[in-house]
Structure 1
Amino acid sequence: MKRARSIPIASEGDAAAVFGDDSFMGRLREAALEVLSPTRCAGCERPGALICEACLSRIEVIDPLHACTRCGAPFGDMLCTECGTAGDTVDGGEGATAGSPATPEARAVDRCLAATVFADPVPRIIRTYKDAGERRLGALIAELMLDAAEHAEQVAPERYGGLLRSADAVTFVPVTASAYARRGFDHMELIARSFSELSGLPLIDALVKHGSADQRALGRAGRMERSRGAYEVVAPVGGLRLLLLDDVITTGATMRAAATALRAAGAAHVDALAFARVW
């Protein structure tokens, strides 16, 4: 995988750095945990690394030269069925039909980029991170997302120029209170904090998500309906150009709803960046 930056693969020796605790006691605790529960690849369970070389090589990277800039789907310059059938694109957008209507929600996201296709081993990596609680993966996912954004700016400046360089701050799609209680952490907050540290962009914890239902079993219409009005802005974002982070884009409803809330609160520009795109 040739990219604008190298991708680290965390092993047992990187645990303290990933957790941010490089004290003697921190290293001792991580060494003890490694003995009791050795690090295994999130994609294939091979021991020795959080993401092994073999699984890293199997991740399908989305080419920013051909991605849909409206929803992040691959091959958007040829046909994007998600945007083309939703009736929510604007003139000139990837997958758009001339004169197609554009709802306020559709206009809320200025550009969208996804780093990878949601295909093996990415689903297992995400499940291991979110549902199995392997929090060390947050920093690696952030690195992959940053790599994708830097690569897009470099090779497709006419499409994704300024995605990072013009952003004033980074924010993220939060989990609901019930999801936080179930998992014990907000998976996107951890990713966003790592992304902020790596990119140098300030982090704004701007959004609160209301409701409690899991959207993974819902179809497109259900996701769009459930997402409307689900987000509240709790930090000042007036006049800012924001980069909104999420882990997976399925229909784009979540990103659009979160971006709509940010724009209603005065954000001047909202670009979206995700780790994976269901396709």
Structure 2
Amino acid sequence: MLSEVFYSECLFCKQKISFTDLICEVCFNNFERITFSCHKCGYPLESDYIICRNCFQARFYEKIMVSYWYNYEMRTLLKYYKFHYGFKNLKIFERLLSGLCIEDNYHIVTPVPVYISRRLVRLIQPAYYLSKIISKKFGIPYKTLLKRVRFTEYQWKLKRNLRIKNIKGAFECMDDVKGLKILLVDDIITTGATINECARILKKSGAKRVDIFCLSKGMFL
């Protein structure tokens, strides 16, 4: 009886679901997992190539792990949390990471930071919650290592050759990372310019190794 009065609607199909849920089972299964990845660094690929283009360019991370493609469902979910003040059922991120396997022993897990003006607009920071989940799930200490020191244009608005210039010098390392193995976390990767710049700063500050985890990768790039 109470379920007829207190219910919610699926974020996608608007079907009636439990008040505590955000997405129905059918729509949850529409999140598309990554199938192919670079044999060298793990960068997600749309087909079974052996090595990605990033491995032929300067990169400062050793390995990257990405779980899903940034399809309609993922885009809608992340925008719901970032721009619509979606506090409901943050445990959806735990479910999305349920199949994640991390075998390396990292000293710290840390998120890609957001500039202060955007933190005021986005009350929910997916990279922060993803980092916290990974920390708890795998017993890796969480710490905020990077600070965004200047405002940058949204990367997705820029062409690939402008993204590196846009993000260069936008981060600072706030702590001692000498000799540490670090797992850097973000919610979406486009060309990889942002995570590569973050990894560069961490390596420049003395980190022994930087690996990446991103929840999703855009299919349009």
TM range (shorter): 0.7 to 0.9
**After superposition, where does 1:62-211 map in structure 2 within 5 Å?**
62-63=34-35, 66-68=36-38, 69-70=40-41, 72-75=43-46, 77-78=48-49, 83-84=52-53, 88-90=54-56, 102-103=57-58, 106=59, 108-136=60-88, 138-145=90-97, 147-148=99-100, 150=101, 163-211=102-150
When residues 171 and 137 of structure 1 are mapped into structure 2, their CA distance, relative to the original with a 3 A threshold, is farther
Q: 1:255 aligns with which of 195, 210, 221?
A: 195
| Separation in structure 2 between the aligned mates of residue 164 and residue 137 of structure 1, nearest angstrom | 28
**After superposition, where does 1:213-224 map in structure 2 within 5 Å?**
213-224=153-164
Q: Does the 8 A contact of 1:248 with 1:274 survive in 2? A: yes
| Separation in structure 1 between the aligned mates of residue 114 and residue 13 of structure 2, nearest angstrom | 27
Amino acid at match of 2:68: T
Q: Is 1:241–2:181 an aligned residue pair?
A: yes
Q: What is the identity percentage for the equivalent residue pairs of Structure 1 and Structure 2? A: 25
| Separation in structure 2 between the aligned mates of residue 202 and residue 216 of structure 1, nearest angstrom | 31
| Alpha-carbon distance, 1:209 to partner | 1.2
Residue ranges of structure 1 left out of the alignment (5+ in a row): 1-12, 14-33, 91-101, 151-162
Q: Does the 8 A contact of 1:129 with 1:137 survive in 2? A: no
| Alpha-carbon distance, 1:222 to partner | 2.0
Deviates further, 202-211 or 69-78: 69-78
Q: RMSD value over aligned CA atoms?
A: 2.5
Q: 2:24 aligns with which of 29, 52, 55?
A: 52
| Separation in structure 2 between the aligned mates of residue 236 and residue 166 of structure 1, nearest angstrom | 18
Normalised to the residue count of structure 2, the TM-score between the two structures is 0.84
| Separation in structure 1 between the aligned mates of residue 94 and residue 192 of structure 2, nearest angstrom | 20
Could you say which structure has the higher helix fraction? 1
When residues 137 and 214 of structure 1 are mapped into structure 2, their CA distance, relative to the original with a 3 A threshold, is farther
| Separation in structure 1 between the aligned mates of residue 63 and residue 139 of structure 2, nearest angstrom | 21
Deviates further, 207-216 or 265-274: 207-216
3-state secondary structure, aligned to 2:161: helix
Q: Does the 8 A contact of 2:81 with 2:124 survive in 1? A: no
3-state secondary structure, aligned to 1:44: coil
Moved over 6 A (4+): none
| Separation in structure 1 between the aligned mates of residue 198 and residue 11 of structure 2, nearest angstrom | 29
| Alpha-carbon distance, 1:194 to partner | 2.5
Deviates further, 69-78 or 178-187: 69-78
| Separation in structure 2 between the aligned mates of residue 45 and residue 198 of structure 1, nearest angstrom | 31
